Amino acid sequence: MTAPEAESLRVQPTPQRRSEWRAQAPVVAVVAVGGAIGAVARYALALALPTAAGGFPWATFWTNVVGCAVIGAFLVLVTEGLPAHRLVRPFFGTGVLGGFTTFSTYTVDIQKLVDHGRPGTGLAYLAATLCAALAAVWCAATVTRRVLTRRQR
């Protein structure tokens, strides 16, 4: 049994909230679908490049480096280049590339290397991934920007 004053405290969904959800539902859907595609691609790469216990995790390394390069090029394209549908950025940038890249697995890989008595390899992996990912974003964005500038002339 509820107190009579509790009845007035119930939150009723307003029509505005429903319309906001309807506007955001396509974004949520494309992010989910894109994330699933990216995660499957990452899994396939992990199967193609298996890591032995205590070995350098090349699959995760290349996943993150390639993903960072692609997002560098993609964001230049959608912000400075080609007009794109409003769902392209959430689908590909947040969904596909967010599902493909995996910085959480990167940290787990470092811990596994340390646990297998390879702290030097873990530290090298930590630094190499960070440097390579940042360089990949910068290089891809710079090259894409130059290509767009030349095409606009």
8 belongs to a structural domain: no
96 lies in a domain?
A: yes
- Residue 82 DSSP label: S
Structural domain includes residue 9 = no
Instruction: Select from 112, 107, 31, 32 the least CA-distant residue to 64.
Output: 107
Output the known binding site. Answer: 98, 101
Using DSSP's 3-state secondary structure scheme, residue 8 falls into: coil
Q: What's the CA gap between 59 and 138, in Å, rounded?
A: 21
Which pLDDT does position 90 carry in this prediction?
94
Q: How many domains does the chain have?
A: 1
Residue 114 belongs to a domain: yes
Known binding residues for Na(+): 98, 101
Q: What is the reported pLDDT for 22?
A: 80
Confidence (pLDDT) at 128: 97
Distance (Å, whole) CA 135 – CA 101:
15
Report the pLDDT value the prediction gives residue 7, as an integer from 0 to 100. 61
Q: Evaluate whether residue 5 is within a structural domain.
A: no
pLDDT of residue 89: 94
Q: How far separated are the first and last CA of the chain, in Å rounded?
A: 74
- Helix (H) or strand (E) holding 75, with range, is helix 58-76
Range of the domain at 137: 15-152
The pLDDT value given to residue 18 = 66
pLDDT, tens digit only, all 153 positions of the chain: 555 565 666 666 665 666 777 888 999 999 999 999 999 999 999 999 998 888 999 999 999 999 999 999 999 999 998 888 999 999 999 999 999 998 899 999 999 999 999 999 999 999 999 999 999 999 999 999 999 998 887
Question: Would residue 24 count as lying in a domain?
Answer: yes
Q: DSSP letter at 108?
A: H
For 2, the token pair is 């509820």
Residue 55 inside a domain? The answer is yes
And the tokens for 43?
A: 């899994």
- Whether 65 is in a domain gets the answer yes
| Tokens describing residue 30 | 């494309």
DSSP summary character for residue 117 = T
